[in-house]
Structure formats: structure tokens, C-alpha cells
Structure 1
């Protein structure tokens, strides 16, 4: 059975990690009510960061619920994801979606990200960051 935890090494922890992804994302994957940006890393495993603004999701309970769903979805599929740093951004209207719809959207986004990374096969020079 693969490792199913979600330790600190699997998360984007500081502003520099997020900036690295935003400066030049290698992949952009859209879902209804969300978007994921990703950039290659040399760690051998994916890392996840979340951005859920008050402007887009008003209630704290909705923001926290969305973040839990994204973390759980990524945790369960981390062995299938490529070695990239991923930032998931929530958009307006995501709080109005049912949890199972959000989960299906995330599943589709992970599949597209994996497919795009496989078709790219090798990261471009200078786009990889060591942590």
C-alpha cells in the first residue's frame, strides 16, 4: 500500500514556494470553480498549495471545506501525480457546488495534469527548483 499521509514535505509552505509556481507555471488546468497552476520540481513527489480568498468564498466554513476536499483529493492521488508544485485557486461559485461535484472536478483536474505532464515528458531547462 502506498504512503497515504500528507506531511509538511508535501505542502507549499512559504511565499517563495508560491512565487516559484506563479512566476512561470508549466501547466494550467481549469475546473469548474477552480484552477490549478503547476511547475516541475526535483523532489520526486508533488507538493500542494491552496489559495482561497475571502473575495471569492465569503464564509470561513466554505473556505475550510474546500481546502479539506482539495487536500484529501491530492493526498489520495499523490502517488499518481507527477513531481510538480501545484497551487489550487478557488474561484467564485465554488461554495455553491456540492462536495461530490467538487471532488469529481478535482479528479478530472488531476487526470489532465498527469496527462499533460506525461506528454511534456521532460521539464524545460531552468524551470526546476530544488527545495
Structure 2
């Protein structure tokens, strides 16, 4: 299995980000992170990061946070098929240690997986139309 973080697993342009921002299926808030997610029509998941200078001043810290999030997302990939995820940094994210950040992300992934499963089961159980016609 490919363990890399290829281009197909990333949100690459403004249109892809805008689709998630405009109509997220899921909106999860953590202590220092906001996670928006939306089902896509693909057989794989994609990740987009919004880590701005406003919330994390030093580029070294921004890069560390991005690396940690990408690595966590990459190792969780089997749990998220067909979902676009955008993670938005909030103030205080740079103050978290790597282990605290991993814990925060693990909590968010579990909540997202639970909500994705519930929503996909609900959509499968919903009637498509009048079956008697």
C-alpha cells in the first residue's frame, strides 16, 4: 500500500476548498482546530490545510503543525473514503506539543468517522422514492 501523501490526496485549488467551505456535511470544533468535511464523489479522501500567520506566527511552527496533521491524516486514511477534509488552525495550536496535537486530531477523526458512518447509514436507509408506483 502506498504510504505517501500524493497530489490526489490533497485539496489543491480554491474551487476544491470553496466546495468544502460553502457546504460542509460535517463541522467539528476542537480546542485549537476547526474541521470541515464534505463527502466527495471520489473513492479516496483529500485533505486541505488552512494554517495562517495570524494564528501561528513562526513558519517553523506552521510547518511542524502541517507535518503532524498530514502524517496523522495519512495513517488514518482507511477510515475516510470519499471525504474532503479542511483543517483550520486557531489560536493556541502552536502551543500544543506534538503528542497533544496528535490527541486532539485523534479525537476529531473518531468523531468525524462516527458522524460519517451515521450519515451514510441514514442515507442508505432513506427511501429513494415511491416504491409502489
TM-score, scaled relative to structure 1? 0.89
TM-superposed CA distance for 1:42, in Å, is 1.1
1:20 partnered with 2:19:
yes
1:101 corresponds to = 100
Q: Is the 8 A contact 1:82 1:117 kept in 2?
A: no
Task: Name stretches of at least 5 consecutive residues in structure 1 with no aligned partner.
Answer: 124-131
1:116 partnered with 2:115:
yes
1-structure distance, mates of 2:26, 2:5: 22
| Partner secondary structure for residue 64 of structure 1 | helix
Q: Is the 8 A contact 1:10 1:47 kept in 2?
A: yes
2-structure distance, mates of 1:68, 1:59: 14
2-structure distance, mates of 1:77, 1:96: 24
TM-superposed CA distance for 1:82, in Å, is 3.5
- The runs of 4+ residues in structure 1 deviating greater than 6 Å are none
Point out the structure with max Rg over C-alpha.
2
1-structure distance, mates of 2:59, 2:4: 25
2:74 corresponds to = 75
Structure with higher helix content: 2
1-structure distance, mates of 2:72, 2:45: 13
Q: How many residues align?
A: 122
Task: Name stretches of at least 5 consecutive residues in structure 2 with no aligned partner.
Answer: 125-133
RMSD of Structure 2 on Structure 1 (CA): 1.2
1:48 partnered with 2:47:
yes
2-structure distance, mates of 1:100, 1:115: 23
